[in-house]
């Protein structure tokens, strides 16, 4: 075996755990489509400037976490640390009609210190509603996230929501916060002292207890919203009353990316350790215009796939809906192969091994493939017009008339 192993902060998804990843992705895909989102796939790497322009040059992502490289022709490129900027670029470049609702499942890359729930390569499941301004859309996005976690059995999921204002009301608030913090500068950590001038709102994100102590008395965004933002937030809260996921207002919730305005929100679970954010998002009503498009409101959400897997109840990996066909002698190989073709035409996942005529060996292969049922194709049974069907979980064996087999299997496998 190679000595080097997989790179730090990356993961292999191998069977049977990879089936759980598939389940999570499918649950997300199904829900996103139910809410009218269509799939978008953008490149794994983009020109670096789009991330600097969107996430913000002072953000942790841009400052410390991007995988940036120069290609052989001298282009400055970056592996995407998040899904949103590539989607906005693609919407404009492909002149998609607006409003549009898009979803994606994409690997992302951030060079951070790996720990439980934090990886250097991870998957985001995201939605972006571009061109809609009504706060009911914000509530719908949050509701979709809540439904997703509920469907996967994550019962303790909570979503915190806040509003951080707009270009009209934020400058005043920012100045006020900056003034407040500058009087306590010596109590702040070096990072927050830096943030004071660059982006004082980011101090709310700091994990240092001394900073959190100072922030307890700090002015909060919610008390400084302009009438339009206050109305928008009020309508969001009213719309959330019918949201089935537990939620609360968190007046100190700001997010680590610069493009947000008005609504911000974050899903968390106590089943996760310090990296407890399952997903998050918010409004970014200025980003499309900053990328050269027309003024266009937008809101989105991205969920971390690995953290979702960590927060899901243990449970058994769902049994593989697979049928394994066993031939009992050389004369039965051809009819067995024909049966495999028939079942596949009927959309029933089917395996057959051609290598060994030994029945015991074939049963062993069925077992290690995780098959749910075996169908035995025997000469004597074929003459009587039946197959033997063996349930590999209970060991029970029954005879099924040949023409009835596909329908019976579809029923048993719930296909
Ligand atoms: P974000 O909060 O940076 O937002 O990331 C979204 C989610 O990705 C996090 O809540 C977390 O579950 C997962 N995540 C982030 N970093 C890591 C990591 N190093 N390892 C494992 N999981 C991670 C965004 O990226 C925004 N683009 C969300 C958004 C979409 N806003 C509007 N539209």
Report CA(124)–ligand 1 centroid distance (Å): 7
Alpha-carbon separation of residue 278 from 119, 156, 302, 319, 411 (angstroms): 13, 11, 9, 26, 36
C-alpha 285/C-alpha 295 separation (Å) is 8
Angle at CA 361, nearest 5°, toward 359 and 364?
Answer: 110
* 29 Cβ contact partners less than 8 Å away, ≥ 6 residues apart: 39, 103, 105
Count of CB atoms situated within 10 Å of the CB of 198: 13
Helix then strand then coil, in percent of the chain rounded to 5, is: 40, 20, 35
C-alpha 169/C-alpha 176 separation (Å) is 11
pLDDT reported for residue 15? 87
pLDDT reported for residue 199? 86
What pLDDT, in 10s, does the model give residues 128-172? 999 999 999 999 999 999 999 999 999 999 999 999 999 999 999
C-alpha 409/C-alpha 345 separation (Å) is 13
pTM for the structure as a whole? 0.90
Would the CB of 105 count as within 6 Å of ligand 1?
no
Ligand 1 atom at shortest distance from the alpha carbon of 267: 10
Segment holding 1, helix H or strand E: none
C-alpha 45/C-alpha 62 separation (Å) is 14
Q: Which residues of the chain have a pLDDT value below 70?
A: 316-319
Ligand 1 atom at shortest distance from the alpha carbon of 117: 21
Strand order in the sheet with 277-283: 38-39, 100-109, 121-130, 298-304, 277-283, 261-268, 158-163, 247-249
C-alpha 134/C-alpha 25 separation (Å) is 28
Would the CB of 221 count as within 6 Å of ligand 1?
no
Ligand 1 atom at shortest distance from the alpha carbon of 308: 12
Would the CB of 84 count as within 6 Å of ligand 1?
yes
Would the CB of 142 count as within 6 Å of ligand 1?
no
Would the CB of 82 count as within 6 Å of ligand 1?
yes
pLDDT reported for residue 307? 97
Would the CB of 125 count as within 6 Å of ligand 1?
no
């Amino acid at each position: 075996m190679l000595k080097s192993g997989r790179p730090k902060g990356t993961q292999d998804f191998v069977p049977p755990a990879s089936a759980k990843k598939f389940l999570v992705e499918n649950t997300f895909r199904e829900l996103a489509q139910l809410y009218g989102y269509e799939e978008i796939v953008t490149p794994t790497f983009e020109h670096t400037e789009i991330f600097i322009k969107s996430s913000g040059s002072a953000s942790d992502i841009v400052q410390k976490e991007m995988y940036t490289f120069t290609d052989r022709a001298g282009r400055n490129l970056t592996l995407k640390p998040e899904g949103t900027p590539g989607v906005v670029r693609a919407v404009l470049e492909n002149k998609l009609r607006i409003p549009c609702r898009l979803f994606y499942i994409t690997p992302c890359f951030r060079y951070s210190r790996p720990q439980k729930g934090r990886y250097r390569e991870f998957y985001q499941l995201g939605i972006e509603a571009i061109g809609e301004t009504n706060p009911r859309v914000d509530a719908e996005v949050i509701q979709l996230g809540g439904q997703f976690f509920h469907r996967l059995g994550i019962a303790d999921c909570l979503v915190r929501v806040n509003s951080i204002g707009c270009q009209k009301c934020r400058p005043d608030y920012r100045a006020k916060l900056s003034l407040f913090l500058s009087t306590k500068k010596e109590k702040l950590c070096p990072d927050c002292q830096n943030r004071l001038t660059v982006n004082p709102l980011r101090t709310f994100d700091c994990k240092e207890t001394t900073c959190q102590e100072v922030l307890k008395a700090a002015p909060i965004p919610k008390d400084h919203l302009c009438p339009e933002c206050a109305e928008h937030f009020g309508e969001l809260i009213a719309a959330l009353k019918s949201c089935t996921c537990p939620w609360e207002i968190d007046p100190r919730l700001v997010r680590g990316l610069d493009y947000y305005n008005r609504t911000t929100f974050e899903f968390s679970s106590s089943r996760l350790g310090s990296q407890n954010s399952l997903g998050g998002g918010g409004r970014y009503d200025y980003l499309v215009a900053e990328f050269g498009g027309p003024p266009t409101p937008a809101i989105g959400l991205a969920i971390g796939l690995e953290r979702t897997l960590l927060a899901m109840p243990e449970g058994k990996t769902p049994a593989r809906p697979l049928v394994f066909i066993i031939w009992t002698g050389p004369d039965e190989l051809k009819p067995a192969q024909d049966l495999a073709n028939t079942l596949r035409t009927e959309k029933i996942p089917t395996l057959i091994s051609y290598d060994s005529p030994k029945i015991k060996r074939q049963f062993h292969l069925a077992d290690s493939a995780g098959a749910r049922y075996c169908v035995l194709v025997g000469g004597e049974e074929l003459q009587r017009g039946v197959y033997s069907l063996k349930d590999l979980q209970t060991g029970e064996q029954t005879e099924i008339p040949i023409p009835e087999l596909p329908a019976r299997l579809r029923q048993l496998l719930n296909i």
